[in-house]
Amino acid sequence: MRGLIGKKIGMTSVYDEIGRSIPVTVIEVPASVITQIKTVEKDGYNAVQLANFDRKNKNVSKSVRGHFAKVDVEQSKAVVKEFRDFIPEGFVEGDELTIEDVFSVGDIVDVVGITKGRGFSGVIKRHNFGGVGDETHGQHNRLRAPGAIGNASDPSRVFKGMRMAGQYGNTRVKVKNLSIAKILPESDVVLITGSIPGPKGSYVEILNKTVELFES
């Protein structure tokens, strides 16, 4: 799927042609470097590997620096992502892909990011449990407890998938069927309708679905 690597800047709103306020997410999308092109003949599948956002060379392993050096990329990159079934025509390894090479206003996109990590959370925060409800009849320390998780004699176990307290957030999430509201190529910025996962400054993958929809 065609796509690029971006960084979440924040949210704002823009007005459409008839004056409606549209909430959008601002994503910085500088030109991505093509570090590898994979083909069915050589690798068993078609894909393009892109790298973006500068990183100090001293903070990158020697093997990764060597991978960048193969395509004459002197400045190491912080993020390397692979986009399957996407071979950019007319581009070779070492070239750069910009926003306008992949996206246009109105395109339908999916955005993949890592959600905010919320640590070890209880069932009320993690699974939206309602709590004990009535606080007037002898309850003093069970207001946010999960309740029963399984009988002792039957089934004598806790079923898989039981909603309990645990790690909440910090997971890979895809938000589907958003659209490109505006592209600002001079600022390397794209505005996407709606919200996307992750905190400000987090890296995201923007996948263009419009091409697939028309092809199917």
Residues 148 and 208 in one domain: no
Its pTM stands at: 0.85
Q: What residues make up the domain containing 42?
A: 3-118+174-215
Look at residue 211 in the predicted model and tell me its pLDDT. Answer: 63
Residues 53 and 131 in one domain: no
Residues 129 and 112 in one domain: no
Buried b (16+ CB within 10 A) or exposed e, 12-48: eeeeeeeeeeeebbbbbbbebbbbbbbeeeeeeeebb
Q: How many CB atoms lie within 10 A of CB 145?
A: 15
Residues 130 and 37 in one domain: no
Confidence class of residue 8 from pLDDT cuts 50, 70 and 90? Answer: very high
Residues 68 and 81 in one domain: yes
Residues 112 and 33 in one domain: yes
Mean pLDDT calculated for residue range 3-18:
93
Domain count, the chain: 2
Predicted confidence (pLDDT) at residue 216 exceeds the cutoff of 60: no
